[in-house]
Amino acid sequence: MGLEEIIKEIEEKADKDVEKMKKQLQEERKKILKIAEEEALRARKEIMKRLEKEAESMKRERIIRVKVEEKKKLLALKRKHLAESFKQAEEELRSLSKQEYMSLMKRLLVSSIDSGDEEIVISVRDEEWVKGDFLKELRKSPEKKEGWKELRLTAGLREGERGFILKKEGVHLNYTFSNLFLLLGEELEIEVANRLLG
DSSP H helix total and E strand total for the chain: 4, 4
The model's pLDDT over 85-130, given as tens digits with 9 standing for 90+, comes to 878 887 888 788 888 888 888 888 888 877 767 888 888 888 877 7
Query: What residue numbers bound the domain in which 71 lies?
Result: 1-95
pLDDT < 50 stretches in the chain? none
The whole-angstrom distance between residue 126's C-alpha and the CA centroid of its chain comes to 41
The model's pLDDT over 119-128, given as tens digits with 9 standing for 90+, comes to 888 888 888 7
CATH number (domain holding residue 133)? 3.30.2320.30
pLDDT for the residue numbered 196: 58
44, 102: one domain: no
87, 124: one domain: no
Residue finishing a domain among 79, 95, 111: 95
The model's pLDDT over 45-54, given as tens digits with 9 standing for 90+, comes to 999 999 999 9
The whole-angstrom separation of Cα 117 and Cα 166 is: 10
Listed residue (142, 132, 172) closest to 164, CA to CA: 172
117, 137: one domain: yes
- Torsion angle in degrees (nearest 10) through CA of 36, 39, 40, 41: 120
Q: What is the pTM of this model?
A: 0.55
103, 91: one domain: no
> E-strand spans in the chain?
119-122, 152-155, 165-168, 171-174
The whole-angstrom separation of Cα 154 and Cα 172 is: 13
pLDDT for the residue numbered 1: 64
86, 149: one domain: no
88, 112: one domain: no
